[in-house]
Structure 1
């Protein structure tokens, strides 16, 4: 199966280990989806739709050195954290909470 960059899921479609669902995430949170979902791997919450019924996730990877790129520098530089990753492997800017519709 080819890797995809983003996906949008109904917030009630995935149960988290805590028993909550995707609606309980915040923009910028990362989560590990199990392979049996068809979208296994690390993902980062990017944005909710207007009524929080769907969440868009971006494929992500862990890094500690994003601050060397001024286009994606963030306050987590030097600490392990997740960033969205493009299909070509480039790290992208972390989603901002301001992008969320609450």
Structure 2
């Protein structure tokens, strides 16, 4: 769900946990991420969150979001990402191997 809405650029700011996919999906499409580092057994969210906008609690997150929205122009833009992701590359490669037109 997050990836789909990010690709449509519906979000101006995302507030979420510092999970791997969330951090990298936001970075890929250029959407600021205000992230909480939740304690996980095998995941180092504290390190990952340090490269985005880390929030310690809800009040902290609200203040960070306020500051971000004051600095950026809120917008809804491209419905197609301006980068090529792995799925697009895979379709092109498979189509080339099978010698078929891409859908």
Q: TM-score, normalising length from structure 2?
A: 0.29
Kindly indicate which of the two structures has a greater share of residues assigned to strand.
Answer: 1
Kindly indicate which of the two structures has a greater share of residues assigned to helix.
Answer: 2
Which one has the largest radius of gyration?
A: 2
Q: TM-score, normalising length from structure 1?
A: 0.29
